[in-house]
Structure 1
Amino acid sequence: MTIRISFDPAEQQLDVIHGFLTTSYWSPGISRETVARGLAHSIAACAFDGDAQIGMARVVTDRATMAYLADVFVLDGYRGRGVARAMLEALDAHPDLQGLRRWLLFTRDMHALYARFGWQASAHPERMMLRENPDAYR
Structure 2
Amino acid sequence: MLRVSTDKTELEVDMIHAFLADESSWARGIPRQVVERSIEHSLCFGGFIDGRQVAFARVITDCSTFANLVDVFVLPAHRGQGHSKRLMAAVMAHPDLQGLRRFTLATGDAHALYAPFGFTPPLKPATLMERYFPGLYESRSDERPQR
Fold shared, TM-score > 0.5 on shorter chain? yes
Q: Find the counterpart in structure 1 of residue 54 from structure 2.
A: 54
Q: Find the counterpart in structure 2 of residue 32 from structure 1.
A: 32
Q: Could you give the per-residue CA deviations for residues 34-77 of structure 1, whole angstroms, max 9, x where no partner exists?
A: 00100011111100011110010110000110000000000011
Q: Find the counterpart in structure 2 of residue 4 from structure 1.
A: 3
Distance 2:27 2:59 in 1: 16
> Is the contact between residue 67 and residue 104 of structure 2 (CA under 8 Å) also seen in structure 1?
yes
Q: Which runs of structure 1 show a deviation greater than 2 angstroms over 4 or more consecutive aligned residues?
A: 133-136
TM-score normalised by L of structure 2: 0.90
Distance 2:131 2:47 in 1: 31
Distance 2:124 2:80 in 1: 32
TM-score normalised by L of structure 1: 0.96
> Is 1:121 matched with 2:121?
yes
Distance 1:93 1:72 in 2: 16
Question: Gaps (5+ residues) in structure 1?
Answer: none
Q: Could you give the per-residue CA deviations for residues 100-123 of structure 1, whole angstroms, max 9, x where no partner exists?
A: 010111111101111111111011
Structure 1 residue 134: deviation in Å?
3.1
> Is the contact between residue 28 and residue 135 of structure 2 (CA under 8 Å) also seen in structure 1?
no
Shift in CA distance, 135/81, structure 1 to aligned 2, threshold 3 Å: closer
Structure 1 residue 135: deviation in Å?
4.8
Q: Find the counterpart in structure 1 of residue 63 from structure 2.
A: 63
Distance 2:123 2:100 in 1: 18
Distance 2:135 2:25 in 1: 13
Q: Find the counterpart in structure 1 of residue 12 from structure 2.
A: 13
Structure 1 residue 82: deviation in Å?
1.1
Distance 1:123 1:133 in 2: 24
RMSD over equivalenced CA pairs, Å: 0.9
Question: Gaps (5+ residues) in structure 2?
Answer: 141-147
* Structure with the higher fraction of residues in helix conformation: 2
> Is 1:132 matched with 2:132?
yes
Q: Could you give the per-residue CA deviations for residues 15-51 of structure 1, whole angstroms, max 9, x where no partner exists?
A: 1100110121100100111001000111111000111
DSSP-derived class of the 1:27 partner: coil
